[in-house]
Amino acid sequence: MKLMSVQSKLIVTAVVLLFPHSPAHAQAAPQIPTQLTLELGTEILLARNPTILRERQNIAMARAGVAQARLRPNPEFEVTSESYPLFESNPGPFFQNNELIVRAGQPIEIAGKRRKRTLVAEQEVEVIQSLLQDTIRQLKLELKTRYYRVVLAKAELELARQVLAQFDEIIRINQLRYKQGEISGLDLARVETERRRFFDDLVAAELGLQNAKTALLELLGASDLSAPFEVTEALTFRPLSVTAEQFQEQALRARDDLQARRQQMERERRQVAFEKSLGVPNITPFLGYKRNLMDNTVTFGVRWNLPVFNRNQGEVARATARVDQAGHEVRRVELAVRSEVLQTYQSVQAEERRVRALESTYVASARKARDIAQASYRLGALDLIGFLDAERAYRETLRGYNQALFAYQVSIYQLEAAVGKDF
């Protein structure tokens, strides 16, 4: 699990840095293999999932904002004509009887506006990257859930086939017993009729597996939602040895959504500094040429606004309030993260108790009762109803055990998502 976590992070980093907005990357993504591991499924998810591809464009847009923030103001150019006697009866030649001014200036941002604006934009990139990582965190949980839903459906299908094959063997034995006159035709017909229920279970299991595979392919962004593949993982049980408090501390350091809120608060702080700088007016030094009738002269000076009334007080107050708001949001998310970790940890413990109970007691008892019932029925010491009850109890117990293993595995992955790291 740790190796897969490291590889997944390397893949995410490489994709984000090297292909921030490349449509060709989705076309070159790996195809769905016939043997699909969870690790390979994660790689395909990062490369092809439409949600991730869409959210990745936010990084490209944020970086464009950084590039825009670094730009300097455009220079100014002015051409002015004055004092031409237009309304006189004989104004004379235009270029000899007017004052012509050609002037160029360059606005200069003071109070560090450009630097502070760039810092805000760069912090926005950090926020967007953390939000992308949080989206990936959630989608990886969804991937693991859908993947193991396929694993569960596969186990359900194998169980249905096993039960049906065993029941077909009982029918074959009863047909021989009927030919030998040991049972009546009514008893044989009842056994053959009961087969339909087990066959219905098989059909339902096949449909469940097909639908689970389709849902997984949809999440992986596959173009063919009916592509054949097999999952390689199995339903397993691995107990945890870490306490809830340790998981909570890890989550407060690792959760990307919490990091995004903290980075957002830093962005708002930088925005306050930028808004304050906007209250200081820019200056525009200029230099030009002035032709006053027949004299050629030079004009130069500096132009700026006087910050008498508007010093951007409102936007400074707004940005300051947003800092406080972001701080409260960080606190809210911290509490939510701690609560989510504790709840998922408690779910893991509950599912672990359920699996242990089924594994140590109920599965073994149901299997033993089914074997005894089969042997007794073949010997004629047990009637059909008793045999079917034992068979049904065995089937339901194994299905419950598989579902408990699935629920436990999913609860582990939910805890990983709540903590923000694989373990």
> What domain count does the chain have?
1
Residues 29-88: tens digit of each pLDDT: 567 899 999 999 999 999 999 999 999 999 999 999 999 999 999 999 999 887 767 777
* 356 belongs to a structural domain: yes
Burial of 106 (0-12, 13-18, 19+ CB in 10 A): middle
In the numeric block, which tokens belong to residue 96? 């000899």
* 321 belongs to a structural domain: yes
State the pLDDT at residue 415.
Answer: 96
Distance CA 326, CA 322 (A): 6
Q: Are 315 and 277 in contact (CB under 8 A)?
A: no
* 113 belongs to a structural domain: yes
pTM of the model: 0.82
**Alpha helix locations (H) across 220-255?**
244-254
* 45 belongs to a structural domain: yes
Distance CA 44, CA 32 (A): 8
Query: How big is the CA angle at 333 (ends 332 and 334), to the nearest 5 degrees?
Result: 90
Give the range of the structural domain holding residue 336, as residue numbers without chain letter: 2-85+95-419
State the pLDDT at residue 296.
Answer: 87
Output the average pLDDT for the chain. Answer: 88
* 259 belongs to a structural domain: yes
State the pLDDT at residue 23.
Answer: 45
Q: Per-residue pLDDT averaged across 382-400, rounded? A: 85
Check residues 122 and 388 and name the one with the higher pLDDT: 122
Give the contacts of 201 (CB within 8 A, at least 6 positions apart): 160, 163, 164, 395
Assess whether pLDDT exceeds 70 at residue 11.
Answer: no
* 90 belongs to a structural domain: no
Residues 274-288: tens digit of each pLDDT: 999 999 999 999 999
Token pair 């009887």 in the structure block, residue: 97
Residues 106-163: tens digit of each pLDDT: 999 999 999 999 999 999 999 999 999 999 999 999 999 999 999 999 999 999 999 8
Assess whether pLDDT exceeds 60 at residue 198.
Answer: yes
* 270 belongs to a structural domain: yes
State the pLDDT at residue 15.
Answer: 44
* 17 belongs to a structural domain: yes
CATH number at residue 27: 1.20.1600.10
